Homo-oligomer: A and B are copies of this chain.
Amino acid sequence: MRSADEYLAGLRDGREVYYRGERVEDVVAHAELGLAAQHGTLDFHGPGPEPSPYYTLPRSPVDLRARSALIEESTRRGRTLVVLIKEIGTDALFALHRVTHGTGAYKRVAAYYEHCRDGDLALAVAQTDVKGDRAKTPAAQDDPDLYLRIVHRDDDGIVVRGAKMHTSYAANADELIVIPTRSLAPGEEDWAVAFALPVATPGLKLFCSDFLHGTDDAFTHPISSGRKMIETLTVFDDVFVPWERVFLAGDVEAAGRIALGFVEYHRMTAVSYKLPLLDALVGLGFALAEANGIARASHVREKLTWLIAYVESVRALIHAACDRAGIDQASGLAYPDPLLTNIAKWTFARDYYPAVERVIDLGGGLLVTGLGGADWTSEQVRPYMEKYFAAAAPAEERLALINLASDLLARGYAGYQGVLAVHAEGSLEAEKMMVFRAYDSGPAAAYARELAGLD
């Protein structure tokens, strides 16, 4: 395992990163991107000889539970923001292991996995293509580059062109793993491509979202002033990939299985890392109710009860998904039960906004009408804040809770988490589709027919 400093040092490598229209020379020193890099250090516990536990290939339900707990704990230390810098990459590596097992690509996957594990590398995954018109397949788009594709092949490797979006943390990762976003059909061989590259590869350009820019008032933004996850539009301007790093190039049938295999692991990761955020919502609900003096109101209890059941259902469901793990016969890898994983993810996602609304209800209107850090430090204003924002707790304590609520529920970070709940790691519709597919309706339908006197 590397140390945090080793990790940070590795990011200064000439990578082509842009923020707010300008090239960033040093992502560690940059005011905004540096926060993301610092956040990434939470996954580095070295220096030491043993590999990072994120790289452990899961072979049993117990391994999956351990992995889930690891992800939950690192996110808890990340103050509700997932660290992700090893989580997502190993999700992809596990999927590549399973899908390529028994094919020629397996050796390359295994070698690359060892390279990353032994180097304790930070990994980003680029999966979601920009997609163009969603009603059209990759080959039918007006611009063939709207799904990443192979534009050249020769003995040394392939050249790819296109772009991926929603890529998290690529600007502060060592490596970028690229996998397909969807199943493909014959005739779409050029779009069936998976590979890995160092982030500092010529032609690879990262355009960073500034969505959470300017959240620097730690008084009103206790989380987002210090924690950043940066997404990029990740452009491949005719980027060369040597064959040893190519894991898929043309096998349309395998493309969908990689996409799906990744998702199977990654949704388990996702639900695991949502748990600290959900715990924070419940805990905040209790703390706000106390501070506001409403803890004994029946509607408050009703809301807290709903929150408890929501959070603990999500937790129990993802644990159950681990406990009912399937074991892939070929590779020996364990994977979380797809039905329960998707039910857990859907349960999380569909009740996230209702949960937000309830905590807002407990918090009060001050979440958006309160005063800021400059007021709190002003001698002219602070005395009034101390006097008039006191409730069942002193103003300082109560405002700290209200500001946490404002950050988590009403400002940019709130919107960020909300949109991620709806879209990230699979949309609500994608989760529902997988629940439907993962369910074997045979036994239940047979039981119904038996009850009906049929068969």
- A 304-347 contacts with B by CB, 8 A: 304-305, 308-309, 311-313, 316-317, 319-320, 323, 339-340, 343, 346-347
Stretch of A38-46, A93-101, A263-271, A350-358 at the chain-chain interface: A350-358
Candidates B312, B385, B418; contact of A439 at CB < 8 Å: B312
Q: Are B448 and A284 in contact (CB under 8 A)?
A: yes
By size class, the interface of chain A is 35 or more
Residues of chain B contacted by A302 (CB below 8 angstroms): 299, 302, 432
Q: Which of A235, A299, A305, A411 has the most CB of B within 10 A?
A: A305
Which residue in chain B gives the minimum CB-CB distance to A278? B444
Residues of chain B contacted by A131 (CB below 8 angstroms): 391
Stoichiometry, as copies per complex, reads: 4
Q: Are A452 and B279 in contact (CB under 8 A)?
A: no
Q: Are A422 and B305 in contact (CB under 8 A)?
A: no
A103 adjacent to chain B (CB < 8 Å): no
C-beta contact mask, A427-439 vs B, less than 8 Å → 1, else 0?
1110011011001
Which residue in chain B gives the minimum CB-CB distance to A276? B447
Point out residues on A near B: beta carbons under 8 Å.
18, 20-23, 76, 79-80, 128, 130-136, 142-143, 145-146, 163, 165-166, 205, 207-211, 213-214, 222-223, 231, 233, 235, 276, 279-280, 282-284, 286-287, 292-294, 296, 298-299, 301-302, 304-305, 308-309, 311-313, 316-317, 319-320, 323, 339-340, 343, 346-347, 353-354, 356-357, 360-361, 364-372, 374-375, 377-378, 380-381, 384-385, 387-392, 397, 400-401, 403-404, 406, 409-412, 414-416, 418-420, 422-424, 427-429, 432-433, 435-436, 439, 441, 443-449, 451-454
- Knowing A233-B384, A283-B448, say if A365 contacts B423 (CB, 8 Å): yes
Complex A-B, nearest 7 residue pairs according to Cβ-Cβ distance, in ascending order: A21-B378, A410-B415, A283-B444, A283-B448, A298-B298, A133-B293, A231-B369
- Knowing A143-B387, A320-B319, say if A305 contacts B360 (CB, 8 Å): no
- Knowing A235-B388, A388-B163, say if A343 contacts B312 (CB, 8 Å): yes
- Bound Cα distance from A222 to B347, whole angstroms: 33
Q: Are A299 and B296 in contact (CB under 8 A)?
A: no
Q: Are A132 and B391 in contact (CB under 8 A)?
A: yes
Candidates B205, B293, B381, B446; contact of A18 at CB < 8 Å: B381
Q: Are A436 and B287 in contact (CB under 8 A)?
A: no
